[in-house]
Structure 1
Amino acid sequence: MYWLLWTGMLINRVGGFVALVLSLYLTSERDLKPSAAGLVVGLYGVGGMAGVLLGGVLADRWGRRPTLLLAHFGAVVFLGGLAVTERVPVIAALAALLGLMHSMPGPAFVAAIVDVVPAADRSRAFNLQFWAFNLGMAAASLLAGLLAEVSFTLLFTVDAAGTLVTAVLLLWKVRETRPAIGPAGNGSAGGEPRGGLHTALTDRAFVSFVGLSLLLAVVTLQTSTILPLAITADGLRPTVYGSVVAYAGLLIVAGQLFVPKLIDRWRKGTTLAVANVFLGLGFACVALADDVPGYLLAATVWTVGSMLAAPPNAAVIAELSPEALRGRYQSVFYLVFPAASFIAPAAGGAGLEFLGDWHWVICGGLGLLAAAGHLLIQPARERRAARLRQQEHHRLEVPATG
């Protein structure tokens, strides 16, 4: 089952490139200024914030499979709308709805992986998931640059086709993975917490980790929201942007499978701190880049950070999530990405327009701030994870009565 989910994510990412060039589409085809384009792209993130919460609740209550099907078939409809409309208000509305559908699958996909993969194998599973994501992203970035020079209508259509293929695969092959929960409903025997979204939102160790992940995401999403504008402002063609992002993806494809052996003996918080330092320095290097080699160098540095961050980031969320609330915990974590999808283009577009290269220096500072934060919260987070493991062990040892 894991490999079916893995394949679905890979196919989806190969076709999922609208978000990569939406800002470029709005400035080049619809004649919007960078700040206005950033706000429209930000609506994609607003829709995504609702999508991850809805996706997490549905994944726990309705099931992983129905949630994935609704999200993928819905995305096909809204991508079709973007392919045929030219009015900016309609594009803005469709961007918000597409963000809703694109964000819903995240909690369900990861919750399903946690359902079917034993705890000892999850770090490897998440590493392979990240590898597949970036293999798909590399292909998507090359396609995005090429299709953007031919036709944005064709670009939206191809994206819809890739999403439809994923939806059909899920409908045909993937079964439900949600674990059976006892009569307590949202809770279970043995000390597992009852509740819903509020349980995750009031878990201080978890929320602290999510806050630091938001800083990381705001910096990382510069590649898909603001970097295209910086590259074209330097007089380079859209294909250069596609090549830079594809290069970063190919680095991950080539090296990601070796990362677990490198970081196995490191504490997760330490690994994440080192990763954020590399990410911050990589984006700070964009301030000095004005040609292809400069952008490739910056991409190399930030990609090392992305490679180091992926396995421990996913593993921390899994170890902090009670079994009965996996979808909800994942949905709260996945709020990071639509929130960053709003903050990154909205603030980034204005930052690039009014601050110029200092925008990238600020991004570097955010990476260093997140690194320090991970070192500070590491002891409390590890204690919280250990308590949850003890509760789960006790629940398995003491069978429910009645």
Structure 2
Amino acid sequence: MRTMRGWLHDTAGGLPRTFWYLWTGTLINRLGSFVIIFLAIYLTQERNFSASQAGLVLGLWGVGGAAGTTIGGTLADRWGRRPTLLTAHLGATSMMLALGFARDLWSVALGALLLGLFAEAARPAFGAMMIDVVPDKDRLRAFSLNYWAINLGFACAAVLAGFATEAGYLLLFVVNAATTLTTALIIFVKVSETRKPLVTAAGRPTAPPRALRTILADRVYLGFVALNLFAALVFLQHISMLPIAMGDSGLSPATYGSVIALNGVLIVVGQLFVPRLIKNRSRSHVLALSAVVLGVGFGLTAFAETAWFYGLTVLIWTLGEMLNSPSNATLIAELSPSELRGRYQGVFSLSWQVAGATAPVLGGVVRERAGDDILWLGCALIGGLVAAAHLISGPTRERRVTALRAANQSVQPAAVGGRRAAEAEEAVTTAPAESLPTGSAESTAAGRGQ
């Protein structure tokens, strides 16, 4: 009993109250995240779109998301995290319902574009708020907990949505809209703004840097974002091409729901143990291993015909995903200047949106012109190349983290009165270097958190 209590305290103890409100909103939202899971099947089977048309709609979702993350990141830094989150969630709720009632190709495409814009505009603000309220030393487990909530909801949603389709696809859109609205209400009632002006150690306000110039000059960060883009091109095939491949194998939408739910189940069972597993490992090695495992899992899909084999491939690439997410999330936090957290989060999220726009289109074109085998084996090749790139670029990234940590220690949140402000200041103050887990002599160890 004492061992279990100790494990629970080490895993979830001592995190700020605001984090748990955000965590709860994440869980509720993901419990109803039916639409994106079944959108490819909905488009091809319910709306009778071709694979290329379905890829176009999913691609426009990604285009809208790319615009949304860019706008959301800027608003999070300038307008504030809380108003950006509220606006994005309310807009996504409205567009979710509109997409459910759309019928012809172009109205569906427009609905997907606008839904992607609003839904993904929340991502940079959410990530920045998480970094604001969680101290450095707790971020690895905080992002793991949030990623765990995402996948607990995803696992439940995948199974429930498979059966809910029997009552009609419109129900998926309605439930998804309701859970998004519930998350907005939690933020409105329980979450306060976390963005604080920064001042120097001498108490003088810092001049805000030119965000675009700073980001474009940060080649280390942009290189990291580029690697994530290629990994995302592989990973997002599970939403676009995997359900179509399973349908070609004669498997039902309910079977796809059950198979893809294995992804969430494995993460729910094992993700909370991952921080301890990778705590003293080099992040470059962890990210490289995750890319290899991800590539192997998707590559084996070329040989799958039965539900159990598809399930095996899902379990394999899920292991790669579990290693990737917390390492990615903490590394992003440490590579982001304090005053540009929202926009740095937006740029990283942009890599996912670019992948979301191009992965289904590229997957559909490769599948139709070269066949399934080339598609899935190509995914394995990309995974191997990304792994090699992480090993090469890792030491440079860690030197950048060390330099940025030293720079961040020269600024602090502007002082405001009250106990609540003191807690907020403590949450964003950089932790001592020795409190962070170390990898090798050259590197310091840092999800899909959304």
Q: Same fold (TM over 0.5)?
A: yes
Aligned to 1:300: 315
The structure 1 residue matched to 2:236, chosen from 180, 201, 221, is 221
Aligned to 1:363: 379
Question: For each residue in 1:41-97, what CA deviation from the matched residue of structure 2 results, as whole angstroms up to 9, or x when unmatched?
Answer: 100000000000011000000111100100111011111112222121111000000
Aligned to 2:431: none
Aligned to 1:377: 393
Pick which of 29-38 and 271-280 moved more: 29-38
State whether structure 2 residue 405 is matched by structure 1 residue 389.
Answer: yes
Q: Give the AA of the match of 1:49.
A: A
State whether structure 2 residue 262 is matched by structure 1 residue 230.
Answer: no
Where 2:195 maps in the other structure, the secondary structure is coil
State whether structure 2 residue 331 is matched by structure 1 residue 345.
Answer: no
TM-score (norm 1): 0.95
Aligned 8 A contact 2:25 2:183 in 1: yes
CA distance in 2, matches of 1:74, 1:277: 38
CA distance in 2, matches of 1:233, 1:345: 17
Aligned to 2:13: none
CA distance in 2, matches of 1:315, 1:197: 22
Displacement after TM superposition at 1:150 (Å): 2.8
Pick which of 193-202 and 312-321 moved more: 193-202
Mapping 1:46-195, distance limit 5 Å: 46-182=63-199, 189=206, 194-195=209-210
Aligned 8 A contact 1:248 1:299 in 2: yes
Aligned 8 A contact 1:45 1:338 in 2: yes
Aligned to 2:58: 41
Question: For each residue in 1:193-222, what CA deviation from the matched residue of structure 2 results, as whole angstroms up to 9, or x when unmatched?
Answer: 712133223210000000000111111111
Displacement after TM superposition at 1:102 (Å): 1.0
Aligned to 2:443: none
Mark the CA change 1:331 to 1:298 in structure 2 (over 3 Å): closer, same or farther. Answer: same
Aligned to 2:34: 17
Aligned to 1:313: 328
Where 2:348 maps in the other structure, the secondary structure is helix
Displacement after TM superposition at 1:360 (Å): 0.5
CA distance in 2, matches of 1:138, 1:130: 12
CA distance in 2, matches of 1:343, 1:188: 42
Q: Give the AA of the match of 1:383.
A: R
Aligned 8 A contact 1:269 1:374 in 2: yes
CA distance in 1, matches of 2:189, 2:129: 16
Q: Give the AA of the match of 2:398.
A: E
CA distance in 1, matches of 2:199, 2:400: 24
Aligned 8 A contact 1:221 1:344 in 2: yes
Q: Give the AA of the match of 2:168.
A: S
RMSD: 1.7
Where 1:104 maps in the other structure, the secondary structure is helix
Q: Give the AA of the match of 1:370.
A: V
Structure 1, unmatched stretches of 5+, are none
Q: Give the AA of the match of 1:132.
A: A
Aligned 8 A contact 1:44 1:97 in 2: yes
CA distance in 2, matches of 1:64, 1:322: 16
Q: Give the AA of the match of 1:23.
A: A
CA distance in 1, matches of 2:405, 2:74: 23
Q: Give the AA of the match of 1:170.
A: I
CA distance in 1, matches of 2:255, 2:217: 44
Aligned 8 A contact 2:288 2:390 in 1: yes
Where 1:357 maps in the other structure, the secondary structure is helix
Mapping 1:184-263, distance limit 5 Å: 189=206, 194-263=209-278
Give identity over the alignment, percent.
48
Pick which of 344-353 and 320-329 moved more: 344-353
Displacement after TM superposition at 1:37 (Å): 1.1
The structure 2 residue matched to 1:270, chosen from 276, 280, 285, is 285
CA distance in 1, matches of 2:154, 2:182: 16
CA distance in 2, matches of 1:11, 1:239: 22
Structure 2, unmatched stretches of 5+, are 1-17, 416-450
CA distance in 1, matches of 2:242, 2:205: 47
Aligned to 1:322: 337
Aligned 8 A contact 2:82 2:187 in 1: yes
